[in-house]
Amino acid sequence: MTTGGLRTVTRIAGPALPVISFAARLPAAICPIATLLMMAELNSIGAAGITAGMLWTGQAVSGPFLGRYADRRGHRPVVLAASLANAAAIALFILSALGGTPLVVQAALAGVVGLTVPQIGPLSRSRWVVLTEPADGDATAGAGELTRRALSFDTAIDEISFMAGPALAGMMVVLVHPTAGLVLAGGFIAVFGPLFALHPTAPRGTPAPASSSARLMNPALTALLAMALLQGMIWGSANAGTSALCAHLGDTGLAGFVWGAMAVTSSLAGLVIAARPLAMDLTLQLRIAMAAQAVLLLPLLLVDGFAGATAAVAGIGFAVAPHLIAVFNLAEHVAPMERMGEAMALLGSGLIIGQGIAALAAGQLAQNSGYHSAFLLTCASGAVALLVALAWVRPQHISPHHAARKRSAEAAEAAAN
């Protein structure tokens, strides 16, 4: 597939949806680093860690619930309410920091910011699944490929947002005011969250009895959740090790630029795959990506400077997008259509929880034994992820809706011949 294939994907929903979804998911990428920078400036490093941790925890906890409500009631009411609540929570959090309220109040408000994150990324992926799902009796052999292209494209958008978000946060804090990053995030979600909610492509939802009868968790989705958790641990420990390395070299501020190299290469890889999908089984793609990532993590054990760290982190990014694209595409295969938003949000929460656990552990390791010990945890997480991919992820597990699509496509192809 060439750029014409990308045009085919965007033509399904119109060119506005990718732009709106990109802008609407920027706040999720801006808020954590903006919180750290604001609190470090207005309070202390310790307070920054506590409030950022509360924000991440809130987001991880609420994600699957918001996804489930969106599946049941439709994207419009759920995303609209969450977006406006998130903007209000960000405003209250900023005011509490400026007003010097007790840390417990600021931490609680940071948690509310996390709880109200409207899950634009996961719901965007579930929306593409609905948009590319053929009507009954109208399935074609290319339907699955179109979904794969769309999810690859959306994953690339996600990576670009998480590259741009921290950069915007840092720039606003440095050039304007310690609170400017969060103000920007609040403005983006107040404007683009409702636009995403009200876009004509928003699914209407499935009534509770029908969606509740569809079983969400199965061995296949559990394996994918484990992959997301381990990918988050790779990110969290590598990020902590990068920060410790930059602090060791005397310039902590460069950590964001070093880490951003992964987002650049991962975004490029995601766009390439969206334009030219890999001609291989998704399970094989996942296993190859994890094997490549496990190897690409090893240079982290040898880095001792900014240039080497940037090159190593950039190399890892080439395996990240293929892995995530395979995970989310496989989730589309194994999760019930009625609970697709919840499934995608659950995987997103797995990424966040893994990051938080590994960042905490790697931070302690780096403090006590140096930055190389944090990178050891990164490499160990990559090795375990590869073992899980080889031993637990299986290609034969598909959901009833995907099996029906496959049967309908085969029947249509047989009729055409």
Phi, psi of 399 (to 5 degrees): -80, 165
Which residue is it, tokens 């949000």? 345
What is the pLDDT, as a whole number, of residue 234? 94
Over residues 37-46, the mean pLDDT reads 82
Over residues 3-22, the mean pLDDT reads 78
C-alpha–C-alpha distance, residues 314 and 262, integer Å:
4
Residue, of 137 and 69, whose pLDDT is higher: 69
What is the pLDDT, as a whole number, of residue 403? 53
User: Average pLDDT, whole number, for the chain?
Assistant: 84
What is the pLDDT, as a whole number, of residue 394? 75
Question: What sign does the CA torsion over 224, 220, 398, 382 have?
Answer: positive
Tell me the pLDDT tens digit for each residue of 319-344.
Answer: 998 999 899 889 888 888 888 889 99
Over residues 49-53, the mean pLDDT reads 83
Widest Cα–Cα separation across the chain: 73
Tell me the pLDDT tens digit for each residue of 342-393.
Answer: 999 999 899 989 888 888 788 888 888 888 999 999 999 999 999 999 998 8
Give the residue among 193, 62, 72 at the shortest CA–CA distance from 124: 193
Cα angle at 132 between 128 and 137, to 5 degrees? 150
* pTM (two decimals): 0.82
What is the pLDDT, as a whole number, of residue 169? 83
Over residues 143-149, the mean pLDDT reads 74
What is the pLDDT, as a whole number, of residue 402? 54
Which residue is it, tokens 């499935």? 206
C-alpha–C-alpha distance, residues 279 and 128, integer Å:
21
Contacts of 411 (CB under 8 A, 6+ apart): none
> What is the four-CA torsion angle of 233, 239, 243, 246, rounded to 10 degrees?
130
Over residues 11-17, the mean pLDDT reads 83
Is the pLDDT at 124 greater than 80? The verdict is yes
Looking at residue 70, its amino acid is A
What is the pLDDT, as a whole number, of residue 65? 92
Over residues 171-188, the mean pLDDT reads 91
What DSSP string describes 292-325? HHHHHHGGGGG--SHHHHHHHHHHHHHHHHHHHH
pLDDT confidence bin for 416, thresholds 50/70/90:
very low
Buried b (16+ CB within 10 A) or exposed e, 239-276: bbbbbbbbbeeeeeebbbbbbbbbbebbbbbbbbbbbe
> By the 8 A CB rule, do 111 and 90 touch?
no
> What is the four-CA torsion angle of 342, 162, 188, 80, rounded to 10 degrees?
0
Most confident listed range (192-201, 214-223, 348-357): 192-201
82 membership: H or E segment, kind and range? helix 75-98
Residue, of 8 and 70, whose pLDDT is higher: 70
pLDDT confidence bin for 137, thresholds 50/70/90:
very low
Is the pLDDT at 404 greater than 60? The verdict is no
Domains of the chain: 3-416 (1.20.1250.20)
Looking at residue 193, its amino acid is G
C-alpha–C-alpha distance, residues 65 and 42, integer Å:
33
> By the 8 A CB rule, do 151 and 328 touch?
yes
C-alpha–C-alpha distance, residues 362 and 295, integer Å:
20
